[in-house]
Amino acid sequence: MVEISSSGARSQLRHLWIVSSHRAVFITLWIVGFMSLFLWQRRSVEGFGIFRRAPSPAVVDWAEFDLREFGGVGDGVTLNTAAFESAVTAIARRGGGRLTVPRGAWLTAPFNLTSHMILFLDEGAEILGIEDETYWPLMPPLPSYGYGREHKGPRYGSLIHGQNLKNVIITGNNGTINGQGKSWWIRYRQKLLNHTRGPLVQLLWSRDIIISNITLRDSPFWTLHPYDCKNVTISNLTILAPVLGAPNTDGIDPDSCEDMVIENCFICVGDDGIAIKSGWDQYGISYGRPSTNILIRNVTLRSVVSAGVSIGSEMSGGVSNISMENLRFWDSRRAVRIKTATGRGGYVRNISCRNMSLTNLRIGIVIKTDYNEHADAGFDPKALPVIENITFTGVYGKDVRVPVRLHGSNEIPVKGISFRDMSVAVSYKKKHVFQCSFVEGRVIGTISPPPCENLDIYDEQERLVKRSTSQNNSDIDYDL
Ligand SMILES: *[C@@H]1O[C@H](CO)[C@@H](O)[C@H](O)[C@H]1NC(C)=O
Ligand SMILES: *[C@@H]1O[C@H](CO)[C@@H](O)[C@H](O)[C@H]1NC(C)=O
Ligand SMILES: *[C@@H]1O[C@H](CO)[C@@H](O)[C@H](O)[C@H]1NC(C)=O
Ligand SMILES: *[C@@H]1O[C@H](CO)[C@@H](O)[C@H](O)[C@H]1NC(C)=O
Ligand SMILES: *[C@@H]1O[C@H](CO)[C@@H](O)[C@H](O)[C@H]1NC(C)=O
Ligand SMILES: *[C@@H]1O[C@H](CO)[C@@H](O)[C@H](O)[C@H]1NC(C)=O
Ligand SMILES: *[C@@H]1O[C@H](CO)[C@@H](O)[C@H](O)[C@H]1NC(C)=O
Ligand SMILES: *[C@@H]1O[C@H](CO)[C@@H](O)[C@H](O)[C@H]1NC(C)=O
Ligand SMILES: *[C@@H]1O[C@H](CO)[C@@H](O)[C@H](O)[C@H]1NC(C)=O
Ligand SMILES: *[C@@H]1O[C@H](CO)[C@@H](O)[C@H](O)[C@H]1NC(C)=O
Ligand SMILES: *[C@@H]1O[C@H](CO)[C@@H](O)[C@H](O)[C@H]1NC(C)=O
Ligand SMILES: *[C@@H]1O[C@H](CO)[C@@H](O)[C@H](O)[C@H]1NC(C)=O
């Protein structure tokens, strides 16, 4: 542990005081000494002051710890759970600190973080999750899900876990957190697991979180799961899992979260790249926490089995005010997918997407209202989700089979959807490539391929050209 202190300066002051008998010098030095002590105190409390060494205020003032000081061994074989736990305890006791994980392979069982903590993964550092499930603690189901996602009852906790925390940073010099998920995926497929698999990193009921500049790979289940958190910044992450054979390895799952930024990331995984959620059916409705105020920008996404960005299907607490801009989707099944079902309740509202690039996809933009996967039979079939005010501005692409499929229904119509400036070259048939059913909305400006007849048509200056008379037509063709 390296303490940052100004005791050197203070002993120098004491020495000068002894050799000088001059009263004015004594008073001056007292004032200088008092001032420097005051600034030092203030600096450690607020991360502010004239002695700052680096531009990032959160990092500098906290005690520095190194995993090796706690007996950590980075040989890929030694189990480091006790080292991580002692380090976290030391940081908690001191009220804050930065734990560096140096170059090496650091095998560990799941461990908890604490508040006011920086977990820093140096270049070449890799935290490895132990594969033996008996080391993974079981936790109660999340209240807005009622169950583990795959099995009833408790679920495995995450490799790196936190609850009720404040001010946590997980960052580094592109070090890696590796869940070694392969054995989990195999056991899951062989139905050898009795509980829902654990995520790689999960933070519950926490705020003021930054996760940046690292790589997350091969999670057993969802990779990064912030649940009911506030003020979360996720930046410059690489998230990887095999695109096939790695079930449910979503990249980032903002779940009942508020005030969040996801930016500058590269995500290529075995399920959804980003999946915005807010709880499941009656459990999510009664928990009642929406995901809202989320900005996603400059992210490159690939998902061969699902979608680059999904909203839902668990969205029962509501999802609103989501902005997506400058996203790139490639070699994937779908780009953006909003999925819900009767029984979900909640809403998906005020969503805007700007400047998306699609390359080699099966489907571009999808809304699906019959995603009938329920926690149990206790859902309320009269709890109908609302889908409205969703805008797409600037959708560009090539080699896309079906650029748009908006599948509303009589019970769950899609309202207030709009497309402005779209140019997507289709790779397949020329008919039925902009599919709609129970959709109300409009297109503005140049739209290629030509839109479905459910939508009103406006010109570049937003003047009405033609109002639709067939909003409830259905043109959905799942064979395409
Ligand atoms: C980690 O946190 C969870 C939730 O607070 C708690 O149940 C568990 O005992 C903690 N584990 C350790 C090793 O402290
Ligand atoms: C992203 O993180 C890497 C280290 O992982 C760093 O070298 C690079 O400068 C970061 N880029 C940005 C834009 O922060
Ligand atoms: C970080 O490491 C990953 C995995 O090795 C790599 O794909 C990525 O390009 C690296 N990022 C930076 C900024 O060096
Ligand atoms: C699952 O439960 C069965 C029956 O109780 C038990 O034999 C098996 O060991 C359990 N598997 C795991 C991975 O816990
Ligand atoms: C959000 O979190 C960041 C980083 O932890 C912090 O600097 C900032 O003050 C927080 N913002 C609010 C509004 O709490
Ligand atoms: C990521 O790393 C870059 C380069 O070291 C640094 O400038 C930036 O502040 C880091 N970003 C975050 C959010 O930690
Ligand atoms: C976009 O994100 C990538 C990392 O994925 C980064 O290298 C690049 O600088 C970012 N671009 C902008 C405009 O921030
Ligand atoms: C919508 O979210 C953005 C962040 O992406 C935030 O700045 C804005 O205030 C939010 N709008 C409302 C109405 O809450
Ligand atoms: C959607 O946006 C409108 C206009 O900004 C606002 O009045 C409404 O409260 C928003 N709805 C939600 C659920 O955020
Ligand atoms: C659109 O997104 C691309 C990345 O896909 C980016 O290079 C370009 O600068 C963006 N354009 C605008 C106008 O933001
Ligand atoms: C639609 O959502 C956008 C945010 O995406 C918001 O600015 C706008 O006010 C909303 N319009 C209505 C009619 O709610
Ligand atoms: C379309 O169906 C909705 C019910 O989903 C109904 O309220 C509406 O009047 C219908 N619109 C037309 C133009 O038939």
Q: Which two tokens stand for residue 348?
A: 């998906």
**Which residues sit with their C-beta closer than 6 Å to ligand 11?**
350-352, 389
Same domain, 279 and 231: no
Question: 338: which residues sit within 8 A by CB, 6+ positions away?
Answer: 310, 311, 312, 348, 351, 366, 367, 368, 387, 390
Query: Contact 403/426 with Cβ under 8 angstroms?
Result: yes
* Å from CA of 231 to ligand 5 middle: 6
Per-residue pLDDT tens over the stretch 232-247: 999 999 999 999 999 9
Same domain, 200 and 320: no
C-beta of 261 in contact with ligand 8 (< 6 A) = no
Per-residue pLDDT tens over the stretch 310-348: 999 999 999 999 999 999 999 999 999 999 999 999 999
DSSP, residue by residue, 410-474: SSS-EEEEEEEEEEEEESS-SSS-EEEESEEEEEEEEEESPPPTTSEEE-TT--EEE--S-TT-B
Position 352 in a domain = yes
The yes-or-no verdict on residue 464 having pLDDT over 80 is: yes
Position 29 in a domain = no
**Gap between the Cα atoms of 402 and 435, Å rounded:** 8
Give residue 28's Cα distance to chain centre. Answer: 54
Q: pLDDT: is 50 or 118 the higher one? A: 118
* Å from CA of 392 to ligand 8 middle: 17
Position 110 in a domain = yes
The last residue of a domain, from among 236, 254, 281: 236
Same domain, 221 and 313: no
Work out the average pLDDT over 361-372.
Answer: 95
**Gap between the Cα atoms of 317 and 349, Å rounded:** 12
Q: pLDDT: is 10 or 258 the higher one? A: 258
Question: 325: which residues sit within 8 A by CB, 6+ positions away?
Answer: 295, 296, 297, 298, 353, 354, 355
Residues marked as catalytic: 271
Same domain, 61 and 204: yes
If one counts the domains in the chain, the total is: 2
pLDDT of residue 27: 46
Position 276 in a domain = yes
pLDDT of residue 56: 36
Q: Chain-wide mean pLDDT for the chain? A: 89
Q: Which two tokens stand for residue 437?
A: 């059913």
Position 30 in a domain = no
The last residue of a domain, from among 236, 255, 282: 236
* Å from CA of 58 to ligand 5 middle: 11
The yes-or-no verdict on residue 352 having pLDDT over 70 is: yes
Same domain, 302 and 424: yes
Same domain, 315 and 214: no
Same domain, 352 and 466: yes
* 277 three-state secondary structure: strand
* 383 three-state secondary structure: coil
CATH assignment of the domain containing 418? 2.160.20.10
Bridge pairing between strands 414-426 and 176-178: unpaired
**Gap between the Cα atoms of 365 and 436, Å rounded:** 11
**Gap between the Cα atoms of 355 and 199, Å rounded:** 31
Dihedral of the alpha carbons of 457, 393, 372, 380, in degrees to the nearest 10:
-80
**Gap between the Cα atoms of 131 and 148, Å rounded:** 19
Per-residue pLDDT tens over the stretch 131-188: 999 999 999 999 999 977 788 899 999 999 999 999 999 999 999 999 999 999 999 9
Using the atom order of ligand 8, give the atom closest to the CA of residue 293.
2
The yes-or-no verdict on residue 97 having pLDDT over 80 is: yes
Expressed as residue numbers, the domain containing 424 is 272-480
pLDDT of residue 57: 39
Question: Which residue among 213, 214, 239, 264 is best mutated to probe the pocket of ligand 7, counting the most ligand atoms within 8 A of its Cβ?
Answer: 264
Position 386 in a domain = yes
Q: Which two tokens stand for residue 426?
A: 């289709």
Per-residue pLDDT tens over the stretch 266-296: 999 999 999 999 999 999 999 999 999 999 9
pLDDT of residue 428: 76
Work out the average pLDDT over 411-433.
Answer: 92
Q: Which two tokens stand for residue 224?
A: 């990064």
Question: Which residue among 88, 108, 112 is best mutated to probe the pocket of ligand 1, counting the most ligand atoms within 8 A of its Cβ?
Answer: 112
Cα–Cα nearest to 366, from 328, 420, 311: 311
The last residue of a domain, from among 174, 208, 236: 236
pLDDT of residue 432: 86
**Gap between the Cα atoms of 268 and 251, Å rounded:** 8
* Å from CA of 243 to ligand 10 middle: 25
Confidence class for position 23, pLDDT limits 50, 70, 90: low
Dihedral of the alpha carbons of 458, 462, 465, 468, in degrees to the nearest 10:
50
**Gap between the Cα atoms of 211 and 235, Å rounded:** 6
Work out the average pLDDT over 367-387.
Answer: 94
Query: Facing residues of 100 across strands?
Result: 66, 120
Question: Which residue among 355, 356, 359 is best mutated to probe the pocket of ligand 10, counting the most ligand atoms within 8 A of its Cβ?
Answer: 355
Same domain, 171 and 277: no
Q: pLDDT: is 11 or 390 the higher one? A: 390
pLDDT of residue 62: 80
C-beta of 81 in contact with ligand 5 (< 6 A) = no
C-beta of 468 in contact with ligand 12 (< 6 A) = no
Cα–Cα nearest to 255, from 326, 205, 301: 205
Closest residue by CA, ligand 2 atom 11: 236
Same domain, 222 and 277: no
**Gap between the Cα atoms of 100 and 65, Å rounded:** 6
pLDDT of residue 477: 86
Q: Which two tokens stand for residue 445?
A: 């400006």
pLDDT of residue 18: 41
Query: Contact 214/176 with Cβ under 8 angstroms?
Result: yes
Query: Facing residues of 359 across strands?
Result: 330, 398
346-372: string of b/e by CB count within 10 Å (b at 16+)? Answer: bbbbbbebbbbbbbebbbbbbbbbebe
Position 228 in a domain = yes
pLDDT of residue 478: 84
Q: pLDDT: is 164 or 7 the higher one? A: 164
Same domain, 295 and 175: no
C-beta of 326 in contact with ligand 10 (< 6 A) = yes
Position 392 in a domain = yes
In 182-295, alpha helices (H): 182-189, 281-287
Same domain, 286 and 431: yes
Same domain, 379 and 303: yes
Cα–Cα nearest to 199, from 177, 225, 229: 225
The yes-or-no verdict on residue 411 having pLDDT over 90 is: yes
Q: What are phi and psi of 9, to 5 degrees?
A: -65, -35
Residues counted in the chain = 480
